[in-house]
Structure 1
């Protein structure tokens, strides 16, 4: 099959998946599924994001500028952009915005040469999007994913552009900071990334300050710190099982302050409180493993993909929040792994697909059963959370093995071995 034929097939599947998921989000006539039906797949967009924008336009205060907000300040950009065609088309405009960004990332992914690895990564991403379902397009995270994909794909040749994109994405939703950390550890161009990120952050901070929002520039940190334990967070599994088994000591409730479902039960506030520092310690531990591998001479092509995956999964696994859209965070590091490492990334790619399928089983269609602590749904969610742990384990082992191989090669070949491996990694990165 020619490169052109492969490209046509990929783009056809991309359009089919995005149109189908958009149709589900906006409403499937006669099914009771859609924007105002089962699970509210587009609920955050049309019922929360749109309301924030309408209140701001009505003079009732801009989130993150006139008061604390759950998101960083740059999240205002896509929220206001979705109002371009008016409030009656807010949901549709949002879906078109996400689709355009995803199309841009797909174009960068395929590149001019459309190598087999890049085509395979594109097919995997499309399959993952379909497996995860409408939540792939219907949250603020959907804006950051294509930015992170583009950044990782261009980081070898254009580190400053990568740093700018990742900083912008982080100021929309914090999770891309994990990818920045992985690049800073693994890449010799780390200072280009850091400087570009700092400049981007400074520009955003100046804009927020000029708008009068300096007091709330980091308000999202306090907002997240005040959250309880969300039902889909891995740490909430114990409380869900207590509720599912009818112990009476645990229950699910809706937080009107944070607009999400959380659990209550024995010592739940303590568990929620310690998860943030535990997450920081866990991320530091993973970063240390990556640093040791790099110090031993492991090339960036072997370290960066699994290290980025490990740090991202750590944020997902040790978190008081476990929203289904978090699963989209897996896309960027897995895509990079397939492009750079090919079949060596088959295991995490398949595990990530399984995680997406299990998440889709829970949300949006059967979410109501989870809210009633149905044992079947609690079991599915528990297995999904265990999938995170398996992914993290695989990624950590991959980083550590890269360090051991590099150390062994240097011991056998002498001090120049590390240099040759680094040269090889740059060559392989540029080729793919």
Structure 2
């Protein structure tokens, strides 16, 4: 990073221009891949199909004032409806074209937010560079899913925390209404006034938005019924174990259900229950960390958010390729701070992202058929994610332990205190 800093510690203008040029070049490449997504190595059209077929179908239902009730593929909170309706704001384009344009705008917003924060004194542009260079590792998949929009809300929530706990809570709540996981970004807010303010604004925003959506649309909570029926997706950690088990004589099969390719057969429910139990354990560990943490640095909220989402991702029954978008965004936020302890974790996430693109869409047929190649890809990707999750929590835990000679922690003093190099929470 020394090459991109002036003697005053501020990023050179040329570095920001290079970042912008890299964004334009990589996004042009992603658009080109999307235009040729029917090619066999690019998924044979499967990547884009989700937007022009499934999302567009839901758009038709939502535009008539109802959520897709009794649709087993609708497994998203009510806020997702607003995202899927948003292409209607660009009437001169087809639904698919408008969706891609809005996704690129959200992507640009993330890049801009990371660059603005990274250009401040004492911050780093490394986070923006990771996002710009990391997202194209997933090829064109990010442009045909709405996870970039969700990630934008989570990223902006974290980056606004030092200056406005209200904005932090509002953006986290809006993200959670779209895909739940952004609620985890509030886990690492410093104790005291900061946590009370951010969490209170999140609760008020969430409750108010839910009330509005419930008043405007029918069946806003039908998604809860569909979530309960999900099984073990072939790309999950449990799915990797079952795929390997097929080579040992396990008679299970892969079947498309609940919007994903899942395993069916003996012991699948047992594996699903084990994953749910691991999620509960992960939640317990995060809660224990929160209770025992005594030192907060400016990066602790970022590090805690990445650790929490990593743990919940790894223990999920579904680890779709687009989940890597979440992790890339949160890792990029961590890298904007010189105090982060998650740099090795970010490297593992980048490696896992690259492997994910090979698994889907390039060699997804191998993954579906549970061949040795497919098993190796999933074992590598999920092994990297598991290692990242363990390393992330370990480094987070150690970074917030009290050190010998540390004075008793003071109460959180609000936004002014958060601008200091380091502060503690009571």
For the superposition of Structure 1 and Structure 2, which TM-score range results when normalised by the shorter chain? 0.7 to 0.9
Tell me the residue number matched to 1:428: 421
Decide whether the 8 Å contact of 2:118 with 2:127 is kept in 1: no
- Please give the secondary structure, in 1, of the residue aligned with 2:362: coil
- 1:200 corresponds to which of 205, 224, 230: 205
Tell me the residue number matched to 1:75: 80
- Please give the secondary structure, in 2, of the residue aligned with 1:83: helix
For 1:379 and 1:337, the matched residues in 2 are separated by: 30
For 1:269 and 1:108, the matched residues in 2 are separated by: 42
1:264, distance to aligned residue in structure 2 (A): 1.9
Decide whether the 8 Å contact of 1:225 with 1:276 is kept in 2: no
- 1:138 corresponds to which of 134, 144, 147: 144
Cα deviations across residues 156-212 of structure 1 (Å, max 9, x unaligned)?
A: 1111111111100110011112212333x6675011111211221122222123225
Cα deviations across residues 290-310 of structure 1 (Å, max 9, x unaligned)?
A: 3311xx3x1142532332122
Cα 1:162–1:384 shift into 2, 3 Å: same
Decide whether the 8 Å contact of 1:233 with 1:317 is kept in 2: yes
Cα 1:187–1:309 shift into 2, 3 Å: farther
- Please give the secondary structure, in 2, of the residue aligned with 1:253: strand
Cα deviations across residues 108-165 of structure 1 (Å, max 9, x unaligned)?
A: 2211772584321111111110112222232121211111111111111111111111
1:87, distance to aligned residue in structure 2 (A): 9.8
Q: CA RMSD in A?
A: 2.9
For 2:383 and 2:392, the matched residues in 1 are separated by: 14
1:389, distance to aligned residue in structure 2 (A): 1.4
For 1:308 and 1:398, the matched residues in 2 are separated by: 13
For 2:20 and 2:254, the matched residues in 1 are separated by: 42
1:352, distance to aligned residue in structure 2 (A): 0.8
- 1:368 corresponds to which of 365, 387, 397: 365
Cα 1:97–1:409 shift into 2, 3 Å: farther
Tell me the residue number matched to 1:408: 404
With normalisation by structure 1, the TM-score equals 0.86
- 1:45 corresponds to which of 45, 51, 54: 51
Instruction: Pick the structure with more helix per residue.
Output: 1
The equivalences for 1:11-410 within 5 A come to 11-27=20-36, 31=39, 38=44, 40-57=46-63, 59=64, 62-63=66-67, 69-85=74-90, 89-111=94-116, 114-115=119-120, 117-183=123-189, 188-211=193-216, 213=218, 216-243=219-246, 245=247, 247-255=249-257, 258-293=258-293, 296=294, 298-341=295-338, 344-404=341-401, 406-410=402-406
For 1:403 and 1:22, the matched residues in 2 are separated by: 42
Decide whether the 8 Å contact of 1:170 with 1:176 is kept in 2: yes
Cα 1:418–1:398 shift into 2, 3 Å: farther
For 2:213 and 2:340, the matched residues in 1 are separated by: 45
Name stretches of at least 5 consecutive residues in structure 2 with no aligned partner. Answer: 5-10
For 2:394 and 2:191, the matched residues in 1 are separated by: 16
Tell me the residue number matched to 2:8: none
Which deviates more, 39-48 or 374-383? 39-48
Cα deviations across residues 211-258 of structure 1 (Å, max 9, x unaligned)?
A: 253xx4433333212111111111111111123x26251221111xx1
For 2:366 and 2:132, the matched residues in 1 are separated by: 28
Cα 1:265–1:101 shift into 2, 3 Å: same
1:344, distance to aligned residue in structure 2 (A): 4.6
Decide whether the 8 Å contact of 2:342 with 2:392 is kept in 1: no
Which deviates more, 44-53 or 342-351? 342-351
Name stretches of at least 5 consecutive residues in structure 1 with no aligned partner. Answer: none
For 2:61 and 2:117, the matched residues in 1 are separated by: 44
For 2:360 and 2:191, the matched residues in 1 are separated by: 36
Cα 1:299–1:426 shift into 2, 3 Å: farther
Cα deviations across residues 289-344 of structure 1 (Å, max 9, x unaligned)?
A: 23311xx3x11425323321221011111111111111111123312221123685
For 2:61 and 2:104, the matched residues in 1 are separated by: 26
What is the aligned residue count?
Answer: 411
With normalisation by structure 2, the TM-score equals 0.87
| Runs of 4+ deviating beyond 6 Å | 65-68, 416-420
Decide whether the 8 Å contact of 1:316 with 1:322 is kept in 2: yes
Cα 1:139–1:252 shift into 2, 3 Å: same
